[in-house]
Each structure stands twice: as C-alpha cells, then as structure tokens.
C-alpha cells in the first residue's frame, strides 16, 4: 500500500531565470498531508503550473523551502524525488510507437497487466481495446489519430503505471467530459487511497470535492479551504465559480 507523501511549502518565492519584473510565485505556504487531494485553481498565468513544477525540482525556488515528508527537497536525491512524483503535463506528450510502448515510457519494467490496470483507471482501456490492434495500436504520423481527450487519458494512465507517491495532474482533464473525469477521480480514490494528489483545474467542478482547494491569483495564494469555506470567504473563488 502506498503511503503518499506530505508536502510542505514554506514562504516559497520563485522567478524564472532572466525574467524581469515580479516573481511568478510570492510567499507560497501550504501543507498537503499524505493521501490528501489538493485542488489548485486560478486564472491563466496565476502561477499554478510553476508552483507544481517546483516539487520534482524542474526549477529551484528563489526563496523559501519545500519539504517532502519533512525533508528539504534540496537535500534529496533528485532521481529518487522524480521517481516518487509523477506529473501529467497540460499537453500530452505521446510518441510514434504503440500504445503499450507509450504507456510503459518511464517505467520500462512494468508488466502488461499493470499497464492494463492503469489504463482502466484512466478510462482508456475501453477505447484502446476498441482498436483492432488494441494495446499494439501504433500512434503518431503513420498510426491512428487520437482525440485530445484520448491523449489526456493515455497521459494519465502512463503516470499511474509508475505508481507514484505523489500524482500531479496539471489541467489534464480539460478535454474530458465531466462523467469521464468523475470516473477517473473515483478510481483514483480507490486505487490511490494513499497517493497524495495535486490537481490543477480550470473548472470548479473538477476540484470541488478535493480535501482542500488552493486559489491562486497573480502568483499568490488568496484562499485555501474547502469549496464551502471558499464560497463564503474567497472573492476570487466566487468569481471563478460564477464565470
Ligand atoms: P495556465 O496554465 O495558463 O492556467 O497558467 P498558470 O496558472 O499555470 O501559470 P504559469 O505558472 O504557467 O505561469 C505563471 C507566469 O510565469 C506567467 O506570467 C508566465 C510565466 N512563465 C511560465 N512558464 C515560464 C517559463 O518557462 N519561462 C518564463 N520566463 N516565464 C514563464
């Protein structure tokens, strides 16, 4: 059973190297307990992707500390850190090759039944097996063309094959209908009961049932809480809800 990791941000600020003006993230502090699901919402450019990209150390903080299970990530072995954390990016990155090869990427030793289990959880098994070649279907230039939502589901499945302690979904359910999205979240809950999950979304409905929701505005956290709390206390959240 997965334990999930605790993640702490303490007064984290971040600016991209060479960029002028205000930092992209300003004084970010929050705690994500092991096994919690945290939603992250906010207008475009508010810093959501930048925030999660600091956790596997794609970039280093300019100030402040990030801890995974109490340890400063600057002191952790980067390879081990990246092995624990799976990020599903906004834009799916699939290559020319079979579906199975694409799902196994990053976890070359996975058995086929683990791949199938991950695909089932990501609501991808159905459309995969509807292709005559199934998991051997070739993607890309000389293969089948997938819809945006199908690509998103393969990207999520690929992350699940790795059985991460921390799963970060960066706005990668935007092309899915809400039923498919809900089904994926339900299977994540059962399989991944121990997995810590950060979920960036555009729609409030995507994060409404998270343990807590972080509301970002212009590089700052302007609210943290449950949907009910934020509806009462966070102007930016209510504006997103009404838009
Ligand atoms: P989204 O994805 O449109 O919903 O926006 P967020 O909330 O994910 O924002 P984010 O973190 O992508 O961008 C925050 C700010 O940082 C925004 O002004 C653009 C800037 N930025 C993002 N990526 C880079 C980068 O690779 N280099 C530089 N110099 N700036 C970046």
Task: Give distance in angstroms: CA of 15 to centre of ligand 1.
Answer: 10
E strand segments, 23-165 = 25-32, 37-42, 63-68, 71-72, 85-88, 97-98, 138-139
pLDDT digits (tens, 9 = 90+) for 45-58: 999 999 999 999 99
Whose Cα sits closest to atom 18 in ligand 1? 45
For 155-175, what is each residue's pLDDT tens digit? 999 999 998 999 999 998 888
Given a contact cutoff of 8 angstroms between Cβ atoms, the answer to whether 171 and 90 are in contact is yes
What confidence score (pLDDT) does residue 1 get? 57
Q: Which two tokens stand for residue 47?
A: 């810093």
CB of 42 within 6 A of ligand 1: the answer is yes
β-pair partners for 170: 200
Instruction: Single out the residue of 142, 167, 143 nearest to residue 155, CA to CA.
Output: 167
Strand-strand pairing, 7-14 and 25-32? antiparallel
Q: Whose CA is nearest to atom 1 of ligand 1?
A: 44
Query: Does the domain formed by 7-92+165-242 have CATH 3.40.50.300?
Result: yes
Domain spans, the chain: 7-92+165-242
Q: How far is the CA of 219 from the centre of ligand 1 (A)?
A: 10
User: What span, in angstroms and rounded, lies between the C-alpha atoms of 229 and 9?
Assistant: 21
The answer, yes or no, to whether ipTM is higher than 0.85 is yes
Q: How far is the CA of 45 from the centre of ligand 1 (A)?
A: 5
Confirm or reject: Cβ of 48 under 6 Å from ligand 1.
yes
∠ CA 200-202-204, rounded to 5°? 95
26 lines ligand 1 (CB under 6 A): no
pLDDT in tens, 97-128: 999 999 999 888 999 999 999 999 999 999 99
DSSP code of 137?
P
CA 60, 63, 69, 71 torsion: positive or negative? positive
Calculate how far, in angstroms, residue 100's C-alpha sits from the geometric centre of ligand 1: 32
Residues of the chain with pLDDT under 70: 1-2, 191-193
Distance, CA 17 to ligand 1 centroid (Å)? Answer: 13
Centre of ligand 1 from the C-alpha of residue 16, in Å: 9
CA of 49 to the centre of ligand 1 (A): 7
**Tell me, what's the pLDDT at 2?**
63
Number of Cβ within 10 Å of residue 36's Cβ equals 17
Nearest CA owner, ligand 1 atom 23: 50
Closest atom, ligand 1, to C-alpha of 202: 4
Q: Is the CB of 45 under 6 A from ligand 1?
A: yes
């Amino acid at each position: 059973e997965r334990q999930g990791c605790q993640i702490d941000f303490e007064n984290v600020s971040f600016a991209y190297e060479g960029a002028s003006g205000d930092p992209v993230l300003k004084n970010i502090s929050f705690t994500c307990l092991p096994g919690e699901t945290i939603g992250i919402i906010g207008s475009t450019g508010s810093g959501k992707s930048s925030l999660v990209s600091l956790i596997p150390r794609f970039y280093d903080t300019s100030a402040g500390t990030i801890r995974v299970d109490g340890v400063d990530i600057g002191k952790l072995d980067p390879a081990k850190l990246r092995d624990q954390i799976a990020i599903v990016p906004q834009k799916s990155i699939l290559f020319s090759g079979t579906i199975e090869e694409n799902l196994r990427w990053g976890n070359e030793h996975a058995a086929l039944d683990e791949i199938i289990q991950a695909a089932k959880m990501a609501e991808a098994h159905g459309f995969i097996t509807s292709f005559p070649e199934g998991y051997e279907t070739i993607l890309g230039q000389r293969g089948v063309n997938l819809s945006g939502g199908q690509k998103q589901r393969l990207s999520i499945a690929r992350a699940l094959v790795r059985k991460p302690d921390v799963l970060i979904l960066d706005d990668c359910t935007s092309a899915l209908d809400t039923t498919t999205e809900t089904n994926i979240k339900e299977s994540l809950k059962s399989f991944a009961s121990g997995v810590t999950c950060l979920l960036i979304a555009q729609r409030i409905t995507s994060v409404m049932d998270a343990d807590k929701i972080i509301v970002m505005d212009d590089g700052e956290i302007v609210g943290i809480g449950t949907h009910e709390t934020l509806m009462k206390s966070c102007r930016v959240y209510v504006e997103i809800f009404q838009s």
